[in-house]
Structure 1
Amino acid sequence: MFRRERSIPLRCSAAALCNNLSVLQVPSRNLTHFGVVHGPSAQLLSAAPEGVPLAQRQLHAKEGAGVSPPLITQVHWCVLPFRVLLVLTSHRGIQMYESDGSVMVYWHALDSGDVSPGTWSGRVLVFDIPAKGPNIVLSEELAGHQTSVTDIATEPAQGQDCMADMVTADDSGLLCVWRSGPEFKLMTQIPGFGVPCPSVQLWHGTVAAGYGDGQVRLYEASTGTLHVQISAHARAICALDLAPEVGKLLSAAEDTFVHIWKLSRSPKSGHTEVEHCHAECVPDTQVCGARFCDPAGSSFAVTGYDLAEILRFSSV
């Protein structure tokens, strides 16, 4: 069970974008960072455990070429083994900052019509990131999608036997499963069925995909085999998240509901099994972002379209 905690006020309401909430926990400082997009700017907040905002910063999309101001499409903390970067994407390009948003270390301009986290053209851009400094290099472009890329999920490779450590989704519902290395290798393509897939996650070789018809589907990453299909929501899913330590899956949708599911592997079949754990309704709100606030899944946060606050919930 979860209970509502003190909400965190926003200067501007959240835009109606899928996955419009990023969360970074900083245990060493007992802080949680939140990022939310509103039009041409992204709002960053640092909050103490009780929800008191301690610092706020606004970042704006770099203009690049063009007449109209660019709209931000995503803000996300990328946690690498040796570094944490804050990535801002817009219709004009990709901006990479130090984790607190204080210094922009890299800018990559996009061609007209492209957008990240992948691009409208279906390309997925791979960058080499140094341990420190601005010497970031575009190293590879992955061609697996024919329509707009909607989301990207990764998990650390579990040794040489790990068959998948990245999955990308697109507007047609197609999923591409990749294995990283000196070059990325396309392992599996999981066909779509005419419904967009706005959000994906990876957990122990299982792909969790949320679709525009409210379904959550769980696939075996290495083979593309469908294990579980859940009619989870009455409207389009806008966000999925995973608590990796315990295998909890969070799904949020435009139907005002956030659900939490427990994933596990059947010892007999090896298939992924699902148990429903919790449902939370955010009345009269088109939910557009939701994330766990810790790897154990003991708390989560929610944003909604035209809602000038981040809602917080913690386990009882």
Structure 2
Amino acid sequence: MYRRERSVPLKSSSSALYNNLSVLPLRDKPLTYFAAVHGSAVSLASAAADGLSVSHRQLQATEGGLAASASIVTQASWCVLPSRVLLVLTSQKGIQMYESDGSIMVYWHALDVLEPPPGTSSGLVLVFDIPSKGTNITLSEVLEEHRDSITDIASEVGENLGGAADLVTADDSGALCVWRSKEEFSLLTKISAFGWTCSSVKLWNGVIAAGYGNGQIRLYEASSGALRATVSAHARWIYALDLAPLTGKLLSGAEDSYVQIWKLSRSPDTGDIEIEHCHSECVPDTQLCGARFCDPEGNSFAATGYDLSEIVRYGQV
């Protein structure tokens, strides 16, 4: 179903962080942006479809615009908004927002690093108002439901959502919070932890897909938080999930060196959530720490591995 294609080289290797790969396909150009974190820096690469033409950029964690080499980057991800795309970096000392190509920093938000223990998240979710252009970005709301470090955030945008859940947040204890965003965010339901960290979470068509440290993928109803399916997907800790919004394909990557491809759907008769395994791919001798689809249909995907100085890519046969 998929075969390996030309890899994209990185200037440095990838750190062992959850979801340590972000992908942004450019609609108006035959290019794809990739981002992976290594220590206090983020490696950016733009690659053509054939992988032959690659350009690189390095972003350093900064504090108020000044280099802060001791500040470790914890995540780098593109935030695709209706009117603009921003590259968002989080570190021990703050949040940086860049234009999509990483060329210009448009906003810096400092975090309190003096809270005990230093450098760990307090579980707060920060909500920002982003204008269609410019740097007038403001912190508008703080969601205080979590009591443990935030591990991942997923959203769904669509005209048919109505008043349904459109945001889910996960934390280090394994708890999930499901939100509805209007003028202010309201908590719809909270899914209790069951003893394992939820490292990655996705939201699609009213379905929450969550990956855990015991190698399980669990599927929940976003509206109620009800558990609908449990899959023993991997032999080791899941580090990344991704969903192709146009097809319902679900990707999972884990420490066991495997990327698994699944297909989510709802039964036309009962409305039950269904999951089907489609493909399995091994990246030999690699502790996978990031994996993403490279297009909204899920026809190609990429993965990063701990201490691996390249992004491996796969395309559909």
User: What one-letter code is carried by the residue in structure 2 that aligns with 1:145?
Assistant: H
Instruction: Specify the alignment match of 1:48 in structure 2.
Output: 48
1:300 matched to which residue of 2?
Answer: 301
Measured in 2, the distance between the counterparts of 1:106 and 1:10 equals 26
User: Mapping of 1:199-218 within 5 angstroms?
Assistant: 199-218=200-219
Aligned-residue offset at 1:141: 0.1
Q: Conserved in 1, the CA contact under 8 Å of 2:254 and 2:289?
A: yes
CA-CA distance at 1:30 after TM superposition: 1.0
Q: SS of the residue aligned with 2:198? A: coil
Is the aligned partner of 1:164 residue 2:200? no
Q: Match of 1:245, SS?
A: coil
Residue 87 (structure 1) aligns with: 88
Residue identity in the other structure for 1:8? V
Instruction: Give the aligned length.
Output: 312
TM-score (norm 2): 0.96
Separation in 1, partners of 2:164, 2:250: 21
Q: Hey, what's the Cα distance between the residues in 2 that align with 1:147 and 1:15?
A: 22
Structure 1 gap segments, 5+ residues each? none
1:269 matched residue in structure 2:
270
Shift of 1:67: 8.5
Name the stretch that deviates more: 62-71 or 218-227.
62-71
Query: Does residue 1:77 correspond to 2:78, yes or no?
Result: yes
- Is the contact made by 1:32 and 1:47 (CA closer than 8 Å) also made in structure 2? yes
* 1:94-113 matches, cutoff 5 A: 94-112=95-113
Shift of 1:63: 3.5
Q: CA deviation at 1:271?
A: 1.4
Other-structure match for 1:136: 137
- On the 8 A contact 1:63/1:69 being kept in 2, the answer is no
1:288-313 C-alpha deviation (Å, 9 max, x unpaired): 00000000000000000000110000
Identity %: 64
Relative to the length of structure 1, the TM-score reads 0.96
1:29 aligns with 2:29: yes
- Offset at residue 113 of structure 1 (A): 5.7
1:283 corresponding residue in structure 2: 284
The answer on whether the counterparts of 1:261 and 1:277 sit within 8 Å (CA) in structure 2 is yes
Q: How many Å apart are 1:225 and its aligned residue?
A: 0.8
Provide the C-alpha distance between the structure 2 equivalents of 1:123 and 1:159, rounded to a whole number of angstroms: 29
- Structure 2 unaligned segments of length 5 or more: list them: none
Structure 1 pair 54/163, CA: closer, same or farther in 2 (3 Å)? same
Q: CA–CA distance in 1 between the matches of 2:199 and 2:70?
A: 25
